[in-house]
Amino acid sequence: MMRGSCLCGAVAFEADPPYREVVACHCTQCRKTSGHYWAAASVTHDRFRLSEKRGLAWFRSSTSATRGFCRDCGASLFWQPEGEARISFAAGCIDGPTGLSLEAHWYAEDAGDYYRPEGPPPPPTRAETLHGSCLCGANRFTLPGPMGAVTACHCSQCRKTSGHYAASFDVDEASVVWQARKTASFTTPGGGSRSFCPDCGSSLGFRAADGSFSIEAGVIDNPTGGMLTSHIFTADKADYVVLDDGLPQEPQG
Ligand SMILES: [Zn+2]
Ligand SMILES: [Zn+2]
Ligand SMILES: [Zn+2]
């Protein structure tokens, strides 16, 4: 049996084998909800149980699917296709070793321009103003581009909130101009604050305890001028994640 949970513990689940192996999805919706791209295993409904659902909220992300997230911490947990007796659950939210492997990349053509699904990132594009938004549109903002260096974080907190692992870029918080804003925040054990959309669960940003601020790379809509440059907290990375893009890895952040 496998167990999983969100970052704050207000949503938890159990699943019995057999599981579908992990699929990474680079579609626009998965990029916004996760803040980078989403990765999930799946099981049939008869092998799936919610052991805690007090924080669970659902967002209808298209006519054919809904997404489950935690309204307390913003973790992106589930994808439920309409009319199917099978649910996808975030690989990054699984507790302990998964024993799974990443077997496919979906919608690779929709991947962000700051990374490639496989291999090293492409050279940066030109981007003067970045436009960002959450999946439902309740949050929209602009900030000066380009995105610049993007850091992938594999710490257990980023794994839970994103559902896979996170990717973000440093921003002067005062330079962000909000055209629409509806954010919730979750204070992490380390004293940082993660912001997310309370309506759709999209991961938006992180303010560290020292005041430094970053935005999740996956919520930017236009060419970013960003480039993934490193992986941090790789000592905490999930066992199904294989890093083969040649970028530097820092085990402890
Ligand atoms: Zn939670
Ligand atoms: Zn939203
Ligand atoms: Zn992290």
Enumerate domains of the chain plus CATH numbers.
2-106 (2.170.150.70), 113-250 (3.90.1590.10)
**Ligand that lies nearest to the alpha carbon of residue 196, given by its number in the listed order:** 2
Phi-psi group of 201: left, alpha or beta (phi > 0 → left; psi -120 to 50 → alpha; rest → beta):
left
Please give the mean pLDDT across all residues of the chain: 96
- The helix/strand/coil state of 92 is helix
Q: Using the mean position of ligand 1's atoms as its centre, give its distance from the Cα of residue 208 in Å.
A: 19
Q: Contact, 15 vs 89, CB < 8 A?
A: yes
Q: Using the mean position of ligand 2's atoms as its centre, give its distance from the Cα of residue 165 in Å.
A: 20
Instruction: Using CB atoms within 10 Å of the CB of residue 123, give its burial: 0 to 12 exposed, 13 to 18 middle, 19+ buried.
Output: exposed
Strand order in the sheet with 38-44: 56-62, 65-70, 76-81, 86-90, 38-44, 20-25, 102-106
Q: What is the pLDDT of residues 37-51, one digit of tens each?
A: 999 999 999 999 999
Q: What is the pLDDT of residues 73-83, one digit of tens each?
A: 999 999 999 99
What does pTM read for this prediction?
0.94
Q: Using the mean position of ligand 3's atoms as its centre, give its distance from the Cα of residue 76 in Å.
A: 15
Give the other-Cβ count within 10 Å of 54's Cβ.
11
Q: What is the pLDDT of residues 128-169, one digit of tens each?
A: 999 999 999 999 999 999 999 999 999 999 999 999 999 999
Q: How confident is the model at residue 125 (pLDDT cuts 50, 70, 90)?
A: confident
Distance of CA 148 to the CA centre of its chain: 19
Q: Using the mean position of ligand 2's atoms as its centre, give its distance from the Cα of residue 161 in Å.
A: 15
Give the other-Cβ count within 10 Å of 9's Cβ.
15
Q: State the pLDDT at residue 12.
A: 98
**Ligand that lies nearest to the alpha carbon of residue 69, given by its number in the listed order:** 1
Is residue 120 scored above 90 in pLDDT? no
Task: Please report how many Cα atoms fall inside a 13 Å half-sphere around the Cα of residue 114, on the Cβ side.
Answer: 32
**Ligand that lies nearest to the alpha carbon of residue 250, given by its number in the listed order:** 3
Q: Using the mean position of ligand 1's atoms as its centre, give its distance from the Cα of residue 31 in Å.
A: 19
Q: What is the residue-wise DSSP string for 21-71?
A: EEEEE-SHHHHHHHSS-EEEEEEEGGGEEEEE-TTEEEEEEETTEEEEEET
Q: What is the mean pLDDT of residues 24-32?
A: 97
Which of 218, 172, 162, 224 lies closest to 194, judged by CA? 162
Q: How confident is the model at residue 119 (pLDDT cuts 50, 70, 90)?
A: confident
Q: Using the mean position of ligand 2's atoms as its centre, give its distance from the Cα of residue 207 in Å.
A: 19
Q: Using the mean position of ligand 1's atoms as its centre, give its distance from the Cα of residue 221 in Å.
A: 26
Q: Using the mean position of ligand 3's atoms as its centre, give its distance from the Cα of residue 206 in Å.
A: 10
Residue type (1 letter), 66: T
- The helix/strand/coil state of 200 is coil
Q: Using the mean position of ligand 3's atoms as its centre, give its distance from the Cα of residue 155 in Å.
A: 4
Is the sign of the CA dihedral 134, 140, 141, 147 positive or negative? positive
Which of 109, 121, 76, 114 lies closest to 222, judged by CA? 114
Q: Using the mean position of ligand 3's atoms as its centre, give its distance from the Cα of residue 82 in Å.
A: 32
Q: Using the mean position of ligand 3's atoms as its centre, give its distance from the Cα of residue 153 in Å.
A: 4
Can you point out the beta strands (E) in 72-220?
76-81, 86-90, 102-106, 129-133, 140-144, 148-153, 166-171, 177-180, 184-187, 193-196, 203-207, 213-216
Q: What is the mean pLDDT of residues 46-72?
A: 97
Q: State the pLDDT at residue 117.
A: 87
**Ligand that lies nearest to the alpha carbon of residue 90, given by its number in the listed order:** 1
